[in-house]
Structure 1
Amino acid sequence: MVTKEQVDHIAHLCKLKFAEEEKERIIHEFNVTLKELEAFNQIDLENVAPTLGVNKHVQRLREDIVGPSLDRDEVLENTVEKQYGYFKLLKIVE
Structure 2
Amino acid sequence: MAIMAYENRTFKLTGKLTIYKVSELKNKLLEGYNGEAKKDGDFFLDLSAAESIDGAVLQLLIALKTLVKNGKGNLKLKVSCQPFDSLLEVFGMPADTFPKG
Report the TM-score when normalising by structure 1.
0.22
The structure where strand makes up a greater share of residues is 2
The higher relative CO (CA closer than 8 Å, separation ≥ 6) is in: 2
Which structure would you say has the larger Rg?
1
Report the TM-score when normalising by structure 2.
0.21
